[in-house]
Structure 1
Amino acid sequence: MATINFYLDKTDKKGLAPIHLRINCNGSQIKIATGEKIQPEKFDKKKQRATGISVESHELNHYLNYLRERADELLHHSNKKKFEQKEVKTILNEHIDCYKENNTVSIAKEQISLYGKPFTFVDLFAGAGGFSEGFLQAEQNNKFFDFIVANDINENCELTHVVRYNYQLGLDAEFLTQDITEPDFLDNLLHKIGERKIDVVCGGPPCQSFSLAGKRKKFDKKDDLFTHYLEVIKALQPKYFIMENVKGILTKEQGKIKDLILKEINSIVDVKEIPRLVSFTRKVKKESNSFVFDVIIKRIELEAISERDKDYGREEFVNLIDNRFKKLTPKIADYKTSKTDDNINTIRHGFNLLARTKEWNKLKRDIIKEKDYCNVNNDHFTDTFTNFLTEISPENVISRIEKAFKALKISSKYKKDCDDIITALKIYTSTFDESIDLLKQLCNKVQRQELEIILKSIRLYKIEKPFVANASNYGVPQNRERVLFIGCRKDQNFISEIPPTVSEDDKVTIFEALYDLDFVGNNQEAHRYELVDISTQYNGTAKKMENLLKKRKIDGKPNSRNGKSYAEWSKEGRLIERYQPQTKPFYVKNSKGLESGEKFFDILNNHKTSNQNKKVIKRLEVILKSGNYKDAQKELKKRGLASNKRNYNVLKPEEQSSTIMTIPDDYIHYNSPRALTVREMARLQSFDDSFVFQGKRSTGGNNRKTEVPQYTLVGNAVPPLMARAIANEILKNIK
């Protein structure tokens, strides 16, 4: 066993003593300069710490602890059992140089275009920053992307963003940690954007909880995320927007959800064209003089109102209909009936409920948050919450009003007036397209032709259909299929798909991505790269494994002359020249650690294996030998190693992985009976090694609902190389 401590050398002319690291082992001694100095009276030799509570003392103690940990890890927890003195010095000096070189770099230089044309982008539902990372790797014809703002609701997403983009890359990109459904979200986003125009918005709002009218939702907190994403699009009106989602969205409710999403996107209008449509509608109204036209005009004008004024516009809309009913009431009921009849009161009070949609939406949002916080789901409380939230929805209030009208005994003379009010209420909750469909029905053939011409110019975005993109087509060693909706503003070139960058035969394999990281065992953490000798590790199959390695371009396309291997690209980084890191990568445990300077500057980060017990290791060995979980079941049961776990994915070195998720135990390494490290999962997602995932490594139980640890950050991310392909295609077409 080696002993590791620090000692002070002789003081210099300023009275400062250099601090040295000293290692004693089997009668041999190694001395290494730490590069730090201290006044002798401020160093506690017994505790091996700087005294005092200053920031400088705190950072120095963190640095010394860091060096002690790395020395202890090297000498006591390494696979290698014997080291030469020179080798120990070289390795520890690498850690010292890495730390000293980078710990003084200041935050956030201004993002300046030295040459070329920058296009701005915003990343919503950003998570770790897969979209952001890919966009900063893109460059076409001297055009590139300028990162403005990212958003997510979790603090660890913000921490990972701040460390990567503000500290490490020195950019001034901001982060908004807020729920997109909050009333002031858009105002806060616009404040961070300032006077800048946004060219591209990207993000993946979950649409899984989407449901059609008439079908009851569970009132999940994700229900409104897609709608609010589109509200941001309406406000920013970018040249392009990308919406990423799971493949299942295409077939949800027999494809009707996909159609609904397309309909909502097509309902985004060019507000500059609204006056033209309103003028047309007024012209048609003169010929029929119907109240419904007034309501259609109000609905059309709502599209031109800014988001902060929308609630006032909705209230005005309801008041218009309410006033119509007030004039009608004396004609369909006497005074006493109008004050006491349940049906008339239902209609009257229904208007009050609809006029306060803003307040009811806030209440709904707060209830859903509390419901989610208390884990109310699939229990005896669920129906109570669902029923109440259903009752206060505008659609349900209107349904009640309609039933109340039908229950009234109204003479045929005023039936059309009542029907017009019900139609007006339905227009209130309709999409722009649904309102236009009604307008078309009220037009004659010539008017319809004129309306179609107006509609062609009023639709702000062109989109025909979504398409499925497989990440493996873009140099990612993973068969991750995702649906992409790409909205193209009408003044921009149309993009209908993202062309693959690699052919089926040239896709990056798992072995290419991970082979050079295969030097850690069970319950080990590596902070530097170690040499992996394929010929020793694979004996008879070494030639076959070596043949899997290819020289490639960044995007995965083979390039035998001057390309690099996938592992080399991962180590060297794929960012374009203007975004090269200003400091080496570092890790912090939390935001407090970042503020207090507790940074861990290591050569390799996020490469730690789980501590799996002997039984789990034996189970994984059986599954690995069988090749898949299903074939291993009989042997596992026979040996008393059966598990309730639904599935294990055995990685095949010559293939691409299945979709990387957020739980590492779902995967078994192709060469060892163990789960994957965060860094290995990040490689399969195509993140550079310099991208460090911050905070906790993993979490479990109910904490999964609120925490976003490293594994979740990786698993939920858009693969950067796929995002890079999207960004490059946009740069080719953007005007």
Structure 2
Amino acid sequence: MRPLKNMATINFYLDRPDKKGFSPIHLRINCNGDQVKLATGQKIKSSDFDKNKQLAIGESYQTREINHYLNFLKERADEILHHSSKKVFEKNEIKNLLNEHIESYKLNNSVNLVKEQITLYGKPITFVDLFAGAGGFSEGFLQVEHNSKYFDFVLANDINENCELTHVVRYNHQLGLDTKFLTQDITEPDFLDNLLEKIDGKSIDVVCGGPPCQSFSLAGKRKKFDKKDDLFFHYLEVIKVLQPKYFVMENVKGILTKEGGKIKDLIINEINSIIDINEIPLLIEFIKNNKTDSNSFIFDCLVKRVELEKLLEKEKDAGREDYVNFIDNRFRKITPKIVDYRTSKTDVNMNTIRHGFKLLSRTKQWDKLKRDIIKEKDYCDIDRDDFVEAFTDFLTEISPDRIISKIESSFKLLKIPASYKSACNDIITALKIYTTSFNESIDILKSYCNVGQKDELGGILEKIRLYKIEKPFVANASNYGVPQNRERVLFIGCRKDQKFISEIPSTVSEDEKVTIFEALYDLDFIGNNQEAHRYDLVDLSKQYNGSANKKKNLLKNRDIDGKVCLKDGKTYAEWSRNGRLVERFQPQTKPFYVKDSNALLKGEKYFDLLNNHKTSNQSKSVIQRLDVILKHGNYKNAQPELNSCGLSSNKRNYNVLKPESQSPTILTIPDDFIHYNRPRALTVREMARLQSFDDTFVFQGKRTTGGEDRKNTVPQYTLVGNAVPPLLARAIGMEILKNLNK
């Protein structure tokens, strides 16, 4: 059969009806006098089928699903006949190709969605994935089993609907889990309440997540009052409430050097400030037992500060207000003794102190205002312009630290009698305790203790600190079977009743690392502006001629985690095609794609054998530019020829992938990379392979976006580029299961 332009026709017809009056729908292809017929597996009454439109009649869910399926088959038949690089087909070849799609659809419509997590033998270890994005952490954790322990995926969270869609399709529909998804900003006041409601009383063993890192990336902009900067601390608020056995925070290497290392130290300090609320009475008793007349007020404040730690999130605002009012009452009592009546009513310094207390007591309201302003500032791209300074100044002025600083300056400007200076200094100290972490409050407490008291306090702190962590460490994804040199910082908090984890051992040695060629060679059958929905044969001997043997030598049989395994292993490509998830996720549907949440509700699913493998439609000049760069091996060496040919670009850099090594860090823009064998950018599927996502993991929604849409949508390329590599997550999950005491 030769599918020449306008020669092949594709239509549907009804066969003889059965006893109930339903006629099977058949697909028919006519070309050059030849005919191919295939049963679609669908039946319909003849009165419900429009022969002219070739579609079912009506608006019911079942009708829409049938019509979507028929259109899908017609698209795939047209793609094979008219848009394939192959020009000659045998009848059986076309039948086999289309029957793969038909059988996949039949199979997936016979499987019911599983409503509960499948529990087999062993101990389920519950986990929650915050800032989940595409689901790299989740995917890696679900691949792991150790000594009958495995991960039970309770909930994921992100702010974007396409993240939710990708999760729902993968984990609820495809894998049949009852995992919940919370689509909400972690900074929202009711986030924790909604999280706890969805968890529904379950104890959470592990929390993982990678708070967005754009505002402190080494390669990115550094903004003051960027809404992403304080997400670490909201993440830690979740940890304080859930108190998991382990938690993992992943981020860019730049976090280690931000603000000269102060941000890293601050995070460690905050982690060390998470305490076991059951041990709080022990510390409070110590403070009360060591209270004297000289430190009475400060120690009362320290008690109140420690008691804040045991309050639920919805109770903390009232607790903070009570703390500030306690200090304010102290100030009111000494006011007549430090200034006269007229000064107390009219002096600017007194008014600053008095009004400062009011500002501090309204922390909840100011925090909400700050959060809203930062969101609007971010939405309007306020940065490097004449607006940014005013916004920054205002947000700085309403911060508790600045308010307390002004109160302190005002005290210094007052002519306070010497006998009351100490009392005023205590008020400043009490205010500073209000803004400190638990750890910093303890440092203040220590300053009032003698050697013996400090020793006793040290013993109490050993009992009261909930998590152990010494320092973060850098993990390179290539050490865990990922074909990518992606360095990420890991903070792993270990609850005091669990074994300490200080590193994640590599799963591959330096000479075992997975290469780009291993990851991508079997996908190298598509050119510019093409989309593939099934795998095609890649003949390395024809494609590489004299260098074919060298390329074949790059292919190695491996274990699931990348370690070379000559006897029973699979190639990286085979692992990617078949998937790395364990058998307990049966039954499951085949992978499918939907355009959006509405399409999922309508049943408009695309059950293809290969997903997310589409190249960009690049212009002739762009292809020529990429070809020159590819020939020279890198962008810098290609500049002279690009200039002489009129192909120069304002783009700062292109990375030519080296087949025998690992890729640089995969980001969210595909145009940053040039395929090692063709003058083109990478497809979503190829970038996913470099991240170690299985081909069975389908990225949903739009492939890419631009302009204003970037603020509101997370397309496929962004889902891939921002993800934690699943094989890195797998190694982390394995180390946790090895050490976790249930």
The alignment's TM-score, normalised by the length of structure 2, stands at 0.97
Q: Could you tell me which residue of structure 2 aligns to residue 527 of structure 1?
A: 533
The answer on whether the counterparts of 2:223 and 2:383 sit within 8 Å (CA) in structure 1 is no
The answer to whether structure 1 residue 696 and structure 2 residue 699 are counterparts is no
Post-superposition offset of 1:209: 4.3
Partners of 2:584 and 2:513 in 1: CA distance: 28
| Gap change, CA 1:210 and 1:566, over 3 Å in 2 | closer
| Aligned match for 1:577, one of 576, 583, 597 | 583
Post-superposition offset of 1:289: 4.2
| Aligned match for 1:108, one of 106, 111, 114 | 114
The answer to whether structure 1 residue 649 and structure 2 residue 664 are counterparts is no
The answer to whether structure 1 residue 366 and structure 2 residue 372 are counterparts is yes
Q: Could you tell me which residue of structure 1 aligns to residue 693 of structure 2?
A: 687
Q: Over aligned residue pairs, what C-alpha RMSD do you find?
A: 1.4
| Aligned match for 1:144, one of 150, 155, 172 | 150
Post-superposition offset of 1:336: 3.0
Post-superposition offset of 1:202: 0.3
The answer on whether the counterparts of 1:360 and 1:392 sit within 8 Å (CA) in structure 2 is yes
Structure 2: gaps (5+ residues): none
1:612-667 Cα deviation digits (max 9, x unpaired): 11111111110111011111111111111111111111111110111111111111
SS at match of 1:464: coil
Q: Could you tell me which residue of structure 2 aligns to residue 563 of structure 1?
A: 569
Partners of 2:32 and 2:649 in 1: CA distance: 46
Q: Could you tell me which residue of structure 2 aligns to residue 96 of structure 1?
A: 102
Partners of 2:668 and 2:85 in 1: CA distance: 28
The answer on whether the counterparts of 1:210 and 1:257 sit within 8 Å (CA) in structure 2 is no
The answer on whether the counterparts of 2:118 and 2:177 sit within 8 Å (CA) in structure 1 is no
Which residue identity lines up with residue 15 of structure 2 in the other structure?
D
Q: Could you tell me which residue of structure 1 aligns to residue 545 of structure 2?
A: 539
Please give the residue correspondences for 1:123-134 in structure 2 after superposition, counting only pairs within 5 Å. 123-134=129-140
Post-superposition offset of 1:12: 2.3
Q: Could you tell me which residue of structure 2 aligns to residue 396 of structure 1?
A: 402
Partners of 1:123 and 1:540 in 2: CA distance: 48
Q: Could you tell me which residue of structure 2 aligns to residue 291 of structure 1?
A: 297
| Gap change, CA 1:18 and 1:111, over 3 Å in 2 | same
Post-superposition offset of 1:57: 1.2
| Aligned match for 1:429, one of 435, 460, 471 | 435
Partners of 2:134 and 2:223 in 1: CA distance: 29
1:351-395 Cα deviation digits (max 9, x unpaired): 111111001101111111112222222222212211111111111
The answer on whether the counterparts of 1:208 and 1:249 sit within 8 Å (CA) in structure 2 is no
The alignment's TM-score, normalised by the length of structure 1, stands at 0.98
Q: Could you tell me which residue of structure 1 aligns to residue 279 of structure 2?
A: 273
The answer on whether the counterparts of 1:168 and 1:584 sit within 8 Å (CA) in structure 2 is yes
The answer to whether structure 1 residue 161 and structure 2 residue 160 are counterparts is no
Post-superposition offset of 1:580: 4.1
Q: Could you tell me which residue of structure 2 aligns to residue 658 of structure 1?
A: 664
SS at match of 2:607: coil
The answer on whether the counterparts of 2:64 and 2:602 sit within 8 Å (CA) in structure 1 is yes
Post-superposition offset of 1:210: 7.0
Q: Could you tell me which residue of structure 2 aligns to residue 232 of structure 1?
A: 238
| Aligned match for 1:621, one of 619, 627, 640 | 627
Q: Please identify, of 574-583 and 492-501, the stretch whose mean Cα deviation from structure 2 is larger.
A: 574-583
The answer to whether structure 1 residue 354 and structure 2 residue 363 are counterparts is no
| Gap change, CA 1:210 and 1:541, over 3 Å in 2 | closer
Q: Please identify, of 27-36 and 514-523, the stretch whose mean Cα deviation from structure 2 is larger.
A: 27-36
Q: Could you tell me which residue of structure 2 aligns to residue 70 of structure 1?
A: 76
Structure 1: gaps (5+ residues): none
Partners of 2:586 and 2:704 in 1: CA distance: 29
Partners of 1:545 and 1:157 in 2: CA distance: 37
| Gap change, CA 1:718 and 1:61, over 3 Å in 2 | same
1:692-734 Cα deviation digits (max 9, x unpaired): 0000000112322221000000010000011000000011100
Partners of 1:521 and 1:697 in 2: CA distance: 17
Post-superposition offset of 1:104: 4.3
SS at match of 1:229: helix
The answer on whether the counterparts of 1:477 and 1:513 sit within 8 Å (CA) in structure 2 is yes
1:50-73 Cα deviation digits (max 9, x unpaired): 111111111111001100100011
Q: Could you tell me which residue of structure 2 aligns to residue 322 of structure 1?
A: 328
The answer on whether the counterparts of 1:697 and 1:711 sit within 8 Å (CA) in structure 2 is yes
Q: Could you tell me which residue of structure 2 aligns to residue 491 of structure 1?
A: 497
Partners of 2:101 and 2:223 in 1: CA distance: 54
| Aligned match for 2:269, one of 256, 263, 266 | 263
| Aligned match for 1:118, one of 107, 121, 124 | 124
Q: Could you tell me which residue of structure 1 aligns to residue 484 of structure 2?
A: 478
Q: Could you tell me which residue of structure 2 aligns to residue 380 of structure 1?
A: 386
Post-superposition offset of 1:130: 0.3
Partners of 1:219 and 1:289 in 2: CA distance: 37
Which residue identity lines up with residue 306 of structure 1 in the other structure?
L
Partners of 2:216 and 2:339 in 1: CA distance: 41
Which residue identity lines up with residue 393 of structure 1 in the other structure?
S
Post-superposition offset of 1:10: 2.3
| Gap change, CA 1:145 and 1:588, over 3 Å in 2 | same
The answer to whether structure 1 residue 451 and structure 2 residue 457 are counterparts is yes
1:146-171 Cα deviation digits (max 9, x unpaired): 10000000000000000000000000
Post-superposition offset of 1:207: 5.5
SS at match of 1:73: helix
Which residue identity lines up with residue 282 of structure 2 in the other structure?
R
Q: Could you tell me which residue of structure 2 aligns to residue 5 of structure 1?
A: 11
Post-superposition offset of 1:335: 2.7
Post-superposition offset of 1:668: 0.7
Which residue identity lines up with residue 245 of structure 2 in the other structure?
K
Post-superposition offset of 1:20: 1.3
The answer on whether the counterparts of 1:19 and 1:36 sit within 8 Å (CA) in structure 2 is yes
Partners of 1:289 and 1:122 in 2: CA distance: 44
Q: Please identify, of 309-318 and 401-410, the stretch whose mean Cα deviation from structure 2 is larger.
A: 401-410
Post-superposition offset of 1:256: 2.2
Q: Please identify, of 384-393 and 310-319, the stretch whose mean Cα deviation from structure 2 is larger.
A: 384-393
The answer on whether the counterparts of 1:476 and 1:684 sit within 8 Å (CA) in structure 2 is yes
Q: Could you tell me which residue of structure 2 aligns to residue 310 of structure 1?
A: 316
Post-superposition offset of 1:340: 2.2
The answer to whether structure 1 residue 206 and structure 2 residue 212 are counterparts is yes
- Identity percentage of aligned residues: 74
Partners of 1:207 and 1:426 in 2: CA distance: 29
| Aligned match for 1:506, one of 499, 512, 521 | 512
1:3-51 Cα deviation digits (max 9, x unpaired): 1111222222222222111111112111111111212122111111111
| Aligned match for 1:606, one of 606, 612, 632 | 612
SS at match of 1:416: helix
The answer on whether the counterparts of 2:118 and 2:585 sit within 8 Å (CA) in structure 1 is no
Q: Could you tell me which residue of structure 1 aligns to residue 188 of structure 2?
A: 182
The answer on whether the counterparts of 2:268 and 2:471 sit within 8 Å (CA) in structure 1 is yes
| Gap change, CA 1:596 and 1:207, over 3 Å in 2 | closer
1:105-156 Cα deviation digits (max 9, x unpaired): 3323311422011111000000000000000001111111110000000000
SS at match of 2:395: helix
SS at match of 1:701: coil
Partners of 1:386 and 1:367 in 2: CA distance: 10
The answer to whether structure 1 residue 462 and structure 2 residue 455 are counterparts is no
Please give the residue correspondences for 1:186-197 in structure 2 after superposition, counting only pairs within 5 Å. 186-197=192-203
Which residue identity lines up with residue 209 of structure 2 in the other structure?
G
Q: Please identify, of 14-23 and 176-185, the stretch whose mean Cα deviation from structure 2 is larger.
A: 14-23
| Aligned match for 1:339, one of 331, 345, 368 | 345
The answer on whether the counterparts of 1:207 and 1:226 sit within 8 Å (CA) in structure 2 is no
Please give the residue correspondences for 1:398-417 in structure 2 after superposition, counting only pairs within 5 Å. 398-417=404-423
Post-superposition offset of 1:339: 2.1
Which residue identity lines up with residue 173 of structure 1 in the other structure?
T
Post-superposition offset of 1:555: 0.5
Q: Could you tell me which residue of structure 2 aligns to residue 706 of structure 1?
A: 712
1:326-348 Cα deviation digits (max 9, x unpaired): 10111122333322222212111
